[in-house]
Amino acid sequence: MARFKAKQPSSGAAEKKKPRMSNAERSAYFSRREAAKVLRSVLQGDAHRRAVASIKSLVYSPSIKNKKATFALVCQTLKHLPIIKDVLEGANILNSRWKRQVELVYIITYDILFGQEISFVGDAEKFLLQRKVSLQSALAQLLVRKKMKCIEDLLDRYQTPDVSKPRYVRVNTLKLDVDSALIDLRKQYMVEKDDVVPDLLKLPPKCDLHDHPLVMNGSVFMQGKASSMVAAALDPDPGWEVLDACAAPGNKTVHLAALMRGKGKVIACELNKERIKRLADTVRLSGACNIEVFHGDFLSLDPKDPPYSKVRAILLDPSCSGSGTVAERLDHLLPSHAAGQSANVDETERLTKLASFQKKVLTHALCFPQVERIVYSTCSIHQIENEDVVNSILPLAASHGFRLGTPFPKWHRRGLPVLEGFEHLVRTDPVEDKEGFFIALFVREEGSVIHPSLSPDSSHLSLVKRTKRKNLSKKEARIRMPTLYGGMFKMFLYSKPSFRVNLK
């Protein structure tokens, strides 16, 4: 006789299944966590005064799914961050667990106090929502302590007015001609051609093109006017070999390839491991077939090595303070800006170090034996990174047969009158032009003698003779590296990996 085991009644806990999140709840849940990730990167970079990608670049990276919601959350949280920090300190509700996820706490606190109270699903949300009364009480006490009548008055103490600037897009002429782009974009927007850069189009401010088909397929690139002027100033001929020394994220690199009509070769050099991925993605999107991505340090390249000895033009856009693009980058939302750190001693020291590095890369560029044109550019407004760098290099440049060229002769804004030849330099103004860039073009005189044996001395930019030796071993070559690249820097340099990236 068969025996059947009686079905045991399930416990109440087992019967209760965790309810599935609705689409709205799921969207809010993941947007907050994506926003927290971006916020952590931005705040850590700001705290260490280290250059990171802009907020827009971080949000619109491929890893972020809900871009619009994430961007709004990050920006609004940063605008309210001084208030949020004071409220959390006054409420005294954070334990060690949530202090380790403080960026997520900032995001959720913004939503609870200032945002829309919807879809608070998640442990962090529940923790803070249970303490909503404490948060509101701390906010009320803050208003009293600051002698403010409302939240808007409190925000006015920290916020900088938004800078409204036109939306520029550069047509990728490797995929689409300018007239076709105009026809397509004019179906939705008012569009006109730029009067300086031939393949640049101007649209009204705040046009959101991130999901536009032409942007998604790489036919146009969202790129500011001043940024687009850099490659145009270098103006390489089709068929040349060109080197982009600090290439990521790659907008200027692919612009060079387009200006060269896909002919010749562009060597895109980038040291940072994370940024090299972004560079490779940009190159793929552009469809350019004449770009070679090199993961390594520009300063480690030997100008006389066969892969680089035929380089005819070099674009130098090295690390800088980014002071000319604070509005575009939304740096005015960062804690350092609110605290007025831009004029402190640490900032002066940082600018000095940046200028020292900028001189090194420009000096190195002058040593390439066949180079005819070099563009040095920054997105900085500081003289120490711009005119001072150029002025310190001019004697060395002249000894190599270079003079300052004059890109965009009709452009009215020129360099500061602190050096001879300032009228050849290009500046854009952060107020008038909505971003502050600097461009210097060095052009080698026809028939000038090339001295491959000349190199800069470390203590000053005078020239020293080096005895030529044939058949040097790699070890001997490293030992005979100029003093400028010696010491600890040499140890750092040769510890870094360098390889070409396969884009296939």
Please give the distance of CA 27 from its chain centroid, rounded to a whole number: 28
* Amino acid identity, position 153: D
Which candidate, 313, 272, 266, 314, places its Cα nearest to that of 286? 266
Tokens matching residue 217: 């397929």
Query: How many CB atoms are closer than 10 A to CB 276?
Result: 22
Which candidate, 258, 249, 172, places its Cα nearest to that of 215? 172
Tokens matching residue 358: 């900028």
Sorted by sequence, the CB contacts under 8 Å of residue 316 that are 6+ apart come out as 245, 246, 361, 362, 365, 374, 375, 376, 377
Locus of tokens 């000053």: 460
Report the C-alpha gap between 209 and 207 in whole angstroms.
6
Q: What backbone torsions phi and psi does residue 457 show, to the nearest 5 degrees? A: -85, 155
Helices (H), 94-223: 96-99, 102-113, 123-129, 132-146, 151-156, 178-185, 213-216
Sorted by sequence, the CB contacts under 8 Å of residue 477 that are 6+ apart come out as 302
Sorted by sequence, the CB contacts under 8 Å of residue 174 that are 6+ apart come out as 254, 257, 258, 261, 262, 286, 287, 288
Please indicate whether residue 379 is annotated as part of the active site.
yes
Please give the distance of CA 214 from its chain centroid, rounded to a whole number: 22
Report the C-alpha gap between 120 and 21 in whole angstroms.
11
Tokens matching residue 237: 């001929």
Query: Is 270 within 8 Å of 294 (Cβ atoms)?
Result: yes
Query: How many CB atoms are closer than 10 A to CB 321?
Result: 22
Tokens matching residue 425: 């330099």
User: Binding site membership for S-adenosyl-L-methionine: which residues?
Assistant: 246-252, 270, 297, 317
Coil, strand or helix at 467 = coil
Helices (H), 366-444: 387-399
Query: How many CB atoms are closer than 10 A to CB 270?
Result: 27
3-state helix, strand, coil in the chain (%, to 5): 45, 10, 45
Cis peptide before 335 (omega within 30 of 0): no
Active site residues: 379
